Amino acid sequence: MSHSLDSEVLIVGAGWSGMYALHRLRKLGLNATVLEAAEDVGGTWFWNRYPGARCDIESLHYSYSFDEDLQEEWTWSERYAAQPELLSYARHVADRFDLRKDIRFGVWVESAEFDESTHQWTLSTSAGQTFTSRFLIMATGSLSAPKTPDIPGLENFRGEIISTFDWPEEKRDFSGQRVAVIGTGSSGIQVIPELAKTAEELFIFQRTPSYSLPAFNRPLSREESEEFKRSAAQIRAAARDSLDGLALENSGKSALEISAEEREEIFSAVYNQGSPFKFQGIFTDQMFQEEANRTAADFVAAKIAERVDDPDIARALTPTSYPIATRRLCIDTNYYETYNRDNVTLVDLLSDPLTQVTEQGLQTEAGLHEVDIIVLATGFDAITGALSRIDIRGTGGRLLREKWADKISTYLGLMINGYPNLFTVTGPLSPSVLSNMMVSLEHHVEWITDCIAHLDQQGLSRIEASAEAEAEWGEHVNEVAAQTLFPQANSWYMGANVAGKSRQILPYVGGVGNYRRRTLEIAADGYRGFELQSQPSVVIAN
């Protein structure tokens, strides 16, 4: 029996992951099509256009490493690039590798179904189109499904509601406007100082405070860029072998086995470099030992107190309910200083809870805050949300979100038992968001595309993670996390920000280098833990 297919491989998503997957599949001689909901490439950097949006990993490191010429010809203007520059880079990559001709933009994938008799996936879109392929790569992003905030009465608000996730494309003027921001995670912390510059009044509704370090962002000099390019091969290799996809030094010391003076000196030196990843790992025990972690938390709390004039506001802005860096450590430009402005008011929802949104504004127990605009910086259904909101049906027609209702399980964050031929880029239980994503997604794309090429060469076209391998990987992920402080926080890393979601560690905390070696060994060992089969003959339609 033969079947006709639209593509050998369908890729959902045209962010960094989907773009690179397309490029690499083409190089391997495989036919691929990308389906993307947005009207252009860029993923995260297409959608999150709010003022102040920047990367929190230095641009030089947060860029593709797979092509030396690309690396050579692109020069970043700032240490931490802003969203317009990151989007220009994505567009440049799309043009340079002529990617757009195989990307269908404005296509929202609603469902994906695996046919056991043909070993094919069929995708359906919101416009009623269907696409068929042998392999499906979900490059749908870890932070691309915005959370629907559970705020009573939001629908009654008469003014404008803007989300940081899909900020309007046209430039907005907030002068003369009373603006409320709900949410003080990384997005809120970046947008708040920018809005405060022009808004007549800015009210910040904070439930859980974040820890944030100053970015010390600055223009990048030609010399720095050239120096990086000269050493790029070594830097990139070290990053791939590192804990977090960044070639960072740590002190090699325990925070508790040195004098308070030495500890302070080390914290100060790293703090002044403006690198949160470096700060959170500077002492070997900081993420493992509460007392060690507290030394870092106390250091940052003292900095918050220095940066904020009013001690009561400083206190309200200082987290107390979780170890530092078990929720994402943020990076800012003038965030805490913004609270020293006359037009800015912090509304601490822990002491003055939000009761409802009315037509005029936000009602807390203490009173009504009338505003013209509400900015939602309320976060994402992270890591699994982009997959769970699609009706993905695997063997036996089982919906993926149903499989994941009680426990989120994958094998290596790359494949899921019951969902043959479906690969996830930076999927749940892989290092993903706890790393420089560029390093992690390049590795996943290479692993996945090599796997597809291998199956092709061997005349195999069904691969599925075994239930045993998946269960063992899940246990390992939990065991490693249990040695750290991460499980103590109600974070999106733990799935805790979405009601009803399974509470478990979602990124793998065992380190990028270890993880990489393990996945490569598994592939070299004939894809250990995966079941490989041959399949009915397939004809590719032109």
Q: Which residues bind ligand NAP (CB under 6 A)?
A: 54-56, 143, 149-151, 182-188, 190, 205, 207-208, 328, 331, 349, 377-380, 433, 492, 497
CA dist 17 → 20, 402, 453 (Å):
5, 26, 18
Binding flag, residue 189, ligand FAD (CB under 6 A): no
- Asked whether the beta carbons of 137 and 425 are under 8 A apart, the reply is yes
Binding flag, residue 330, ligand FAD (CB under 6 A): no
Binding flag, residue 123, ligand FAD (CB under 6 A): no
Q: Which of 266, 292, 415, 437 binds ligand FAD (CB under 6 A)?
A: 437
Binding flag, residue 108, ligand FAD (CB under 6 A): yes
CB atoms near residue 1 (< 10 Å): 7
Q: Which is nearer to ligand FAD, 33 or 187 (CB)?
A: 187
Binding flag, residue 441, ligand FAD (CB under 6 A): yes
**Maximum C-alpha span of the chain:** 75
Which partner from the list ligand NAP, ligand FAD, none does 17 bind, CB cut-off 5 to 8 Å by kind?
Answer: ligand FAD
Burial class (CB within 10 angstroms; exposed 0-12, middle 13-18, buried 19+) of 80: buried
Q: Which of 132, 144, 251, 289 binds ligand FAD (CB under 6 A)?
A: 144
Which partner from the list ligand FAD, ligand NAP, none does 12 bind, CB cut-off 5 to 8 Å by kind?
Answer: ligand FAD
Which residues lie closer than 8 Å to 33 by C-beta, 6 or more apart?
6, 7, 9, 10, 11, 102, 103, 104, 131, 133
Binding flag, residue 386, ligand FAD (CB under 6 A): yes
CB of 190 to ligand NAP, least distance (A): 5
Binding flag, residue 323, ligand FAD (CB under 6 A): no
Dist. CA 194–CA 344, nearest whole Å: 12
Binding flag, residue 18, ligand FAD (CB under 6 A): yes
Q: Which of 163, 210, 426, 497 binds ligand FAD (CB under 6 A)?
A: 426
Dist. CA 34–CA 38, nearest whole Å: 12
Instruction: Tell me which amino acid residue 345 is.
Output: T
Residue nearest to ligand NAP (CB): 185
Looking at the chain, how many residues does it have? 542
Binding flag, residue 142, ligand FAD (CB under 6 A): yes
Binding flag, residue 32, ligand FAD (CB under 6 A): no
Kindly state the helix (H) or strand (E) to which residue 350 belongs, with its residue range. Answer: none
Contact segment (CB under 6 A) with ligand FAD among 48-56, 198-206, 457-465, 524-532 equals 48-56
CB of 396 to ligand FAD, least distance (A): 22
Q: What is the SS3 assignment for 174-205? A: CECCEEEEECCCHHHHHHHHHHHHHECEEEEE
Binding flag, residue 143, ligand FAD (CB under 6 A): yes
CA 525 to chain centre: 30
DSSP 126-175: TTS-EEEEEEEEE---SS-SB-----TTGGG--SEEEESTT--SS----B
Binding flag, residue 425, ligand FAD (CB under 6 A): yes
Dist. CA 163–CA 181, nearest whole Å: 10
Binding flag, residue 17, ligand FAD (CB under 6 A): yes
User: What phi, psi does 492 have (nearest 5°)?
Assistant: -75, -20
Nearest to 410 by CA among 504, 496, 334: 504
Contact segment (CB under 6 A) with ligand FAD among 16-24, 149-157, 197-205, 511-519 equals 16-24
Instruction: Tell me which amino acid residue 49 is.
Output: R
Q: Which is nearer to ligand FAD, 361 or 385 (CB)?
A: 385
Q: Which of 13, 281, 319, 418 binds ligand FAD (CB under 6 A)?
A: 13
CB of 477 to ligand NAP, least distance (A): 19
Q: Which is nearer to ligand NAP, 295 or 378 (CB)?
A: 378
Judged by the rule CB under 6 A, the positions of this chain that interact with ligand FAD are 12-18, 35-38, 43-44, 46, 48, 53, 55-57, 62, 107-109, 139-144, 187, 386, 390, 425-426, 436-437, 441
